[in-house]
């Protein structure tokens, strides 16, 4: 009887946790954090539609004095998701030392066998760092409904430094590597420094 009740409770928990997933709560910044984010976005020339002056004035192009760094906190990244779409209710980003992790809720089409109309919980992690004068990008794994996806299903790229493996060939990884001067991900912070 105890085994039956325990099995029933575990089954209910698994079904509730993985098949009837509630959306994430979007991150809301306090006024001070909001001001810091707005300053960063202005420096990156990001304008929000419907706010500010959208007119353009001709000007001479110059890189003089331009900062080649991109800095965001984990809260700022998650708040940016909430600003533009309801993606913040389906995607959450976590920044740890040299690791970017995401949680993504994927609604399944009603016609999908067995899982139709349900929401799948997907988790993924990737190492981002800068070592030996080059960026390091390593997919640590992907989990669907709490089950890790086999490396073979990921094309064999799990735990492989993608920049080292593909950065010598012409294409995205080589261009990416040649344009990055530093990547630092520390608990709750992301900093990317670009080359000239």
Over residues 77-120, the pLDDT tens digits come to 888 888 766 777 788 899 999 999 999 888 878 887 777 777 88
- Between 83 and 172, residue with greater pLDDT: 172
Q: Taking the chain, what is the end-to-end CA distance rounded to the nearest angstrom?
A: 69
CA distances from 72 to 38, 65, 76, 144 (A): 11, 20, 6, 28
pLDDT of residue 12: 65
Q: Which domain does 125 fall in, by range?
A: 2-49+66-194
Q: Could you tell me if residue 57 is inside a domain?
A: no
pLDDT of residue 47: 60
Q: Could you tell me if residue 61 is inside a domain?
A: no
Q: Could you tell me if residue 122 is inside a domain?
A: yes
Alpha carbon distance 71, 193 (integer Å): 9
Q: Could you tell me if residue 94 is inside a domain?
A: yes
Q: Could you tell me if residue 138 is inside a domain?
A: yes
Q: How many domains does the chain have?
A: 1
Percent share of the chain, pLDDT over 70: 87
Residue range 160-173: mean pLDDT, rounded:
89
In the block, which residue shows the tokens 């001067």?
181
Q: Could you tell me if residue 59 is inside a domain?
A: no
- What global pTM score does this model have? 0.74
Q: Could you tell me if residue 126 is inside a domain?
A: yes
Sorted by sequence, the CB contacts under 8 Å of residue 68 that are 6+ apart come out as: 181, 193, 194, 195, 196
**pLDDT tens figures, 112-144:** 777 777 788 899 999 999 999 899 999 999 998
Q: Could you tell me if residue 27 is inside a domain?
A: yes
């Amino acid at each position: 009887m105890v085994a039956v009740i325990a099995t029933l409770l575990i089954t209910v928990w698994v079904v509730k946790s993985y098949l009837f997933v509630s959306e994430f709560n979007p991150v809301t910044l306090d006024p001070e954090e909001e001001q810091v984010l707005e300053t960063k976005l202005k420096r990156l020339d990001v304008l929000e539609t419907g706010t500010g002056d959208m007119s353009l004035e001709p000007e001479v192009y110059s890189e003089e004095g331009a900062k080649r760094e991109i800095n965001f906190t984990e809260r700022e990244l998650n708040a940016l998701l909430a600003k533009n779409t309801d993606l913040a209710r389906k995607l959450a980003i976590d920044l740890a030392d040299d690791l970017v992790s995401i949680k993504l809720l994927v609604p399944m089409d009603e016609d999908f066998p067995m899982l139709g109309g349900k929401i799948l919980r997907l988790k993924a992690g990737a190492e981002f760092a800068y070592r030996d004068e080059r960026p390091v990008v390593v997919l640590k794994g992907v989990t669907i409904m709490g089950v890790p996806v086999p490396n073979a299903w990921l094309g064999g790229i799990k735990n492989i430094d993608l920049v080292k493996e593909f950065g010598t060939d012409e294409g995205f990884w080589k261009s990416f590597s040649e344009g990055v001067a530093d990547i630092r991900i520390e608990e709750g912070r992301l900093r990317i420094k670009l080359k000239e």
